[in-house]
Chain A
Amino acid sequence: MALISPNSQSLELPANAPLHQISLHRSQVIRDALLEASSESQLNLNALSTNDLEDLVTEALYFESHRLETKADPVRDEIDLHKLTEFSQTLKNRNNLQLPAQAIFKSLCHEMMEYHLEEIAGHFDPKTYALATRLVPRGFWWLLKATSLRNFQELFVGQVNLRRNLLIQGQTQEFQSLAQKGTVILVPTHFSNLDSVLMGWSIFALGLPPFAYGAGLNLFSNPFLGYFMNRLGAYKVDRRKKHKLYREALLAYSTVIIANGCHSLFFPGGGRARSGGLERNLKLGLLSTALSAYIKNPTRKIYLIPCVISYHFVLEASSLIHEHLQNAGGSRYVHRFRDESYDPKKLFKYFMKFFRQSGKIYLNFGQAMDPFGHYVDPNGRSYSDAGREIDPLGLIKSRGQIIANPKRDREYVHHLAERITERFTKDNVVLSSHFMAWAYFTYLRKKFEDYDLFRLLQLPLEMSHTSLTKFFKFAEPLLAAVHKGHENGAFLLEPALRSTDLRAILDSALRNIGVYHNNKPLALLQGETLQTEDWNLLYYYSNRMVELELPMEITA
């Protein structure tokens, strides 16, 4: 386990650090990405018919004009609108250009992708990095320290054991070793916007150089965040741009920077997990760029490192589960929601509550794998499940030649995604709060088995009242199953959950799960009756257990 401590000095960034080099040669990187996006293995622009090229252009113009109608970002959208008008004019006047239609459409495809790449490509400034590595850890350290104090004097004397709150564990040494041997891609679970901060912190705490990270365009609008992100190698991802030319430009950029040795971070589940459960259906787009980069530069090995983040309570739980239920239930879901995620006071309250509690955030780094999903050892060698060393290079060869084959490569990426989700389950640290929320929700579903999920979630809160004796009787076999699953290696348990004392586990869960939310998902009434003050939140936290492989049938 790595001990997190603030470095007295910033990390020395070597002059040839890939992220810095990428920034220095930004124009070249954009040109390379443009070539990559147009290449045979991606859009294959040279082979497309006039009609196909026209479809690409019109699709882009159609989606862009719709996006700009929403006026979500007036300043940026104004610039985009101007450019869009230019593209539309070229399209309109194509008959006057004395050029074949195919050449005009191809040129438009290039221009549009180039325009998007100019937006996507990140910058890196070593001075800002040096500043950030001094300021951020210190700020974080002091925040941790101040909020962990039992009394004011502790601020000046003694050390606060940071392991108490933030645990970076798992295959950290393997991670460090592989980052020296090749390009590492970190693929964590995604539950909260806090994830990016914690991942950045853990990368720094492990003594690793900065990672490229695709950040939502909206985050760059914030002057403070935008300042740092614009200078620390983050590239921009605009999820509102839905057309193929943008998507291919984004993937090509990621491919080029990975192929150039830039360590990267993706959240393979896409956005934050709305349901609160572990991600099962990963987005294959950015994930596929690991393999594309390997094919582009097979001399440099690429390793993917899954990481599971476990929180007792999630900052945005209410809004996330609201969205999930809205999508899943449609008209059957009755809205009763007030957003509580981005209020600065709430954010401060969240940190204070979190660090004052004994509960922890776990960042558990899993076993590394190659772009095909084979496990790799700390020396970067790939192995089959039976433990036989294999050469991954052969997998991208056809008839002796290294080639990109989109159909073949899609299969590899599917397999890689399956392996990552497997690791998400196995490396998941189950917390007392997850277990109790799940056991209690399972009990209530059984008690009201004639109600479907959406009717259950609308029941009066009093209907959730349950005597502890009854609940413990129900939860006992569930706990035994969880212990058995842990013994079988299906997942990990936090120490508090390894006990067989249900009362102690409940106390631990109550201490942690309820500290942030105004309405507690799990609460005790007069010391003897369990109740929920928010059905949706209870459901959200219980979902974290749903995908675990338990050695019994749970009939909910």
Chain B
Amino acid sequence: MTTLIQPKLNAPKLRRVCVFGAGSWGTILAHLACKKGDSSVSLYSHSAVEAQTLQSNRTNSRYLPDLKLHPDLVISNDLKWCVENAETLIIAIPSTAVRKLCQDLSGFVRTDQLIIHGVKGFDPVSLQTMSEVIRHELGFVRVGALSGPNLAMEIAQGLPAAAVVASSFDEVCQAGVEILHQKTFQVQKNQNILGVEYLGALKNILALVAGLADEWAVGKNATAFALCSIQAEILKLIKQQITSHHLKLQDEVELLWGLAGFGDVFATATSLGSRNYRAGRLLARGHTVSEIQETLSQSVEGLWTLRAVMALITSPSNPPLENIKRGSDPTSTSRYAQLESLATLIQIGEDGLESSDLVQSKAYLMTQLKLVRDKLFQL
């Protein structure tokens, strides 16, 4: 029988918070919330052994070995206890696990609790954003998304960072600020939760492409061109999806140029601290998806996101993108081909087939990127 760890709670503070997920992001968020000092914070890990180890060693040796966990942080694997002793729930787990967590939470969660997720990805089956998954499972609860250029390793080193908490509910944004905002971690508010979620998820693909391009040394110019080309496709997708939700992302240039857009792309598309970027480089070296996951020892959201994007693009209910695929615009065709080629590469990587397909796919993407480079030189 699993041992349930119910640590003693510290003296009550302004807010009671539970962070779900003891990976690098969850751990750093729980640590930051404790450091801020206004909240009683617990960190949930589904593994009793992990919870016990974190509680006794006061460090997350697997993901953030150099970080000494805040003394006030309590760690537990008791889901019910964690939920019942919190007013705000922060979810920081892979996108593929969010639905299951919500299903597990549903027995204990209360509709007066606020939920903030820091997950950049889509549900692999329904292609919903994380807030949509949470609401599908738990009802129209007050939910927010935490996003931005946040490399956990840098934050753990005490380097300054900024994030955005987005929700159509002001009290969720306010909770995010009150729980996390501090000198070295600035938290801004935004109302466009869907826009922030889409940007956060889709930039993962850009980081993958940047990793691939850098590994193949096609040059920074060609890499930038490739990123812009793919981003153009992604933007079309965002516009279409968001419009269907009665939001006007196209008018929100600030969002694209803000922390959740440009800021996040800048940090993750260029840094070895980004899992997605490193995954792109490993993919270019011919590693399989499982090898990549093993090497990085964490879930790589970009791989899932790309698959979700391909599913959205090829969905029959997406006629404008179908038109692009059919080649109504020759430049768009080549951009779509790049995305498709990338998806094939990942699919092959996942299946573990080191075959001529991989070489062919890689060669195709290389050709595309080189064409882009040649075009740039001609210009």
A interface residues with partner B (beta carbon < 8 Å): 372-374, 382-386, 388, 390-395, 397-400, 405, 407-408, 411-412, 414-415, 418, 551, 553
Contact = CB atoms under 8 A, between A and B. Distances in A.
Nearest to A552: B316
B171 A384 contact: no
Contacts of B140: 372-374, 395, 412, 415
Contact of B142 (A374, A384, A393, A408): A408
Contacts of A392: 111, 139
B170 A407 contact: yes
B348 to A, nearest CB: 32
Contacts of A394: 110-113
Nearest to B134: A384
B137 A395 contact: no
Contacts of B136: 384-386
Interface in B122-145: 135-142
A279 to B, nearest CB: 14
Q: What 6 pairs across the A-B complex have the smallest Cβ distances?
A: A394-B111, A394-B112, A397-B112, A390-B139, A384-B139, A553-B319
Contacts of A551: 316-317
A428 to B, nearest CB: 19
A372 B169 CA distance: 14
B171 A382 contact: no
Contacts of A412: 140
Contacts of B243: none
Contacts of A397: 111-112
Helix, strand, loop or mixed for chain B's interface?
Answer: loop
Helix, strand, loop or mixed for chain A's interface?
Answer: mixed
B139 A411 contact: no
A382 B319 contact: no
Nearest to B136: A385
B186 interface: no
A393 B170 contact: no
Nearest to A393: B111
A411 B168 contact: yes
A111 to B, nearest CB: 34
A414 B136 CA distance: 17
Contacts of A415: 140
Interface of B: 87, 103, 106, 110-113, 135-142, 168-171, 246, 316-317, 319
A551 B142 CA distance: 33
Residue from A400, A551, A553 with most neighbouring chain B CB atoms (10 Å): A553
Nearest to B137: A386
B139 A382 contact: yes
A415 B136 CA distance: 13
27 contacts: A372-B139, A372-B140, A374-B139, A374-B140, A384-B106, A384-B136, A384-B138, A385-B135, A388-B137, A388-B139, A390-B139, A391-B110, A392-B111, A393-B111, A394-B111, A394-B113, A395-B111, A395-B112, A395-B142, A398-B112, A398-B171, A399-B87, A405-B171, A407-B170, A408-B170, A412-B140, A551-B316
B170 A391 contact: no
Nearest to A405: B171
Contacts of A390: 111, 138-139
Contacts of B87: 399
A400 B138 contact: no
A280 to B, nearest CB: 9
Contacts of A374: 139-140
B111 A411 contact: no
A551 to B, nearest CB: 7
Contacts of A395: 111-112, 139-142
Residue from B139, B169, B319 with most neighbouring chain A CB atoms (10 Å): B139
Contact of A400 (B103, B112, B142): B112
A418 B245 CA distance: 9
Contacts of B110: 391, 394
Contacts of B111: 390-395, 397
Nearest to B246: A418
Given A372-B140, A388-B138, 5 more contacts: A372-B139, A390-B111, A395-B111, A400-B112, A405-B171
B169 A408 contact: yes
Contacts of B112: 394-395, 397-398, 400
